[in-house]
Amino acid sequence: DDVPPPPAPFAHRIVTLRSGDVSSQFNLSSKDILGGGKFGEVHTCTEKQTGLKLAAKVIRKQGAKDKEMVLLEIDVMNQLNHRNLIQLYDAIETPREIILFMEFVEGGELFERIIDDDYHLTEVDCMVFVRQICEGIRFMHHMHVLHLDLKPENILCVAATGHMVKIIDFGLARRYNPQEKLKVNFGTPEFLSPEVVNYEQVSYSTDMWSMGVITYMLLSGLSPFLGDNDTETLNNVLAANWYFDEETFESVSDEAKDFVSNLIIKEKSGRMSAGQCLQHPWLNNLAEKAKRCNRRLKSQVLLKKYVMRRRWKKNFIGVCAANRFKKITSSGSLTALGV
């Protein structure tokens, strides 16, 4: 099934941040946390008047920059009316928080779903996922938006069955004007392009590098640049030090390898655009290929290990932060943090 995902349950809207009383309009479930990130937590929530189920991203206002960042996120999401890109419904500011109400998708993170033992991951599945991600990116780029944080965690499944995915998290996205030299110094090491690591000008092709890394991972379960620590990872990126692991890629088609090879290229201008990706033979004739190829990819086992390691790392960081917080509150000073 390669039908496009359903549009959001509401028409695209232009959202403006407003002050308001959240509890009179929305039932926000404090227990049902969908995920957490640098800026806060994402909860399930229902609009009282309509019963519409939504995802509420609660962002703590800690510094002056936080509101500025959220306003950028809203501005970007207002441009993006596409079924593979998560839609924004409302945005409310309270004295301590800003809450973004978004289309809710219930299938969870793509990588979490495909590591399930009951899931039979084939190369055609990967094509279906990558095609949709490219459709979303093509629209974003057409609207002059760079995502700049494309990674597996930001690809969600629409439902627990089927193959439909949507891109989320426009928290680091930027409007792009090719006349202005945009540089950024954020992102997740494993998925960063050499130009970001070098603090050089970014462009549409910066997202395409990350697309290449995600595709490589889907096909193999390996993260091509991951080192023992962030410095090692960043050095691997800078050297564009990657290869197709012979054993893991043994059963992967040459078309797939060609697709990846045309994205993970150090020189920005050498990378395919999202439109070119959609024209690439690997992402075409899917129905025909589905009839011929039903082999389970080896990548599933390795992806499971990758996801488990990531979960462990996240929990470990969470526990460390909680311990540091305990120390601070018991000592009543910031010295416990070494500040």
Q: Choose one: 168-176, 194-202, 231-239, 293-301; the region binding ligand ATP (CB under 6 A).
A: 168-176
Is position 153 an interface residue for ligand ATP (rule: CB under 6 A)? yes
Single out the residue of 148, 88, 335, 303 nearest to residue 215, CA to CA: 303
* Residue partners of 248: CB distance under 8 A and separation at least 6: 220, 221, 222, 298, 299, 302
Give the contact letters, 60-99, x = binds to ligand ATP (CB under 6 A), - = no: --------------------------x-------------
Is position 114 an interface residue for ligand ATP (rule: CB under 6 A)? no
Decide if 102 contacts 167 (C-beta within 8 A). Answer: no
Least CB distance from residue 264 to ligand ATP, whole Å? 22
| Tokens, residue 193 | 């392009």
| Tokens, residue 163 | 């193959």
Q: How far apart are CA 157 and CA 165, in angstroms?
A: 4
Residue at token pair 């609009």: 47
Is position 213 an interface residue for ligand ATP (rule: CB under 6 A)? no
Single out the residue of 193, 127, 192, 191 nearest to residue 165, CA to CA: 127
**In the set 8, 85, 99, 105, which binds ligand ATP (CB under 6 A)?**
105
- Choosing from 75, 90, 125, 149, which is the catalytic residue? 149
**In the set 123, 125, 169, 195, which binds ligand ATP (CB under 6 A)?**
169
Single out the residue of 304, 150, 311, 123 nearest to residue 222, CA to CA: 304
Is position 168 an interface residue for ligand ATP (rule: CB under 6 A)? yes
| Tokens, residue 265 | 């290229």
| Tokens, residue 84 | 């593979």
For ligand ATP, give the closer residue by CB, 39 or 282: 39
* Residue partners of 177: CB distance under 8 A and separation at least 6: 144
**In the set 20, 35, 227, 275, which binds ligand ATP (CB under 6 A)?**
35
**In the set 15, 17, 55, 148, which binds ligand ATP (CB under 6 A)?**
55
Q: Give yes or no: 149 in active site.
A: yes
Please indicate if the annotation marks 61 as binding a ligand: yes
| Tokens, residue 135 | 């459709």
- Which residues lie near ligand ATP (CB under 6 A)? 34-35, 37-39, 42, 55, 57, 86, 102-105, 109, 153-154, 156, 168-169, 171
Name the binding residues.
61
Which are the catalytic amino acids? 149
Per the annotation, binding residues for ATP are 61
